[in-house]
Amino acid sequence: MTSTDKKFKLVKIYFYVCHRFDIELKYLCERFNNNKQPEFTYQEAITIYLYAMRLENRFHVKDIHEFASEYLRDWFPKLPSYEAFNVRINRLSEVFRVLSETVLNDFIPESCSKKSN
């Protein structure tokens, strides 16, 4: 990653995800086992997923992981193998559903009507 603008966007996405995670998302993916505090967090997985989709136009988990492994390793040194990353993303399906609702509400353009017909 060379662009300062892209680095800023990565950090901005990470902070937004962490904020939403602390408010509501953590309850949707809480783990009740010995690995409750994984080295590679859900927040990091969500951030990589959103960043790669939004800014790099990568829409397959394998492509997202390859991109992260090659270009974001300095930012996410504990990035797991593709298989582990894929499992983590699949466990987050409910988180992504709620997060997409939240993002739409938080970033709706002023010109859009919030009223349903």
Per-residue pLDDT in tens (0 to 9) along the chain, 117 residues: 458 899 999 999 999 999 999 999 988 886 655 556 778 999 999 999 999 999 999 999 999 999 999 999 999 999 999 999 999 999 899 999 999 999 988 888 878 876 665
Calculate Rg over the CA atoms of the chain: 15
Residue 36: the pLDDT is 62
* pTM for the model: 0.86
Rounded to the nearest 5 degrees, what angle is found at the Cα of 46, between the Cα atoms of 115 and 114? Answer: 5
CA distances for 107 relative to 24, 71, 100, 110, angstroms: 17, 28, 11, 9
Residue 8: the pLDDT is 95
Helix (H) or strand (E) holding 44: helix 42-56
Residue 64: the pLDDT is 97
Any idea what DSSP says for residue 55? H
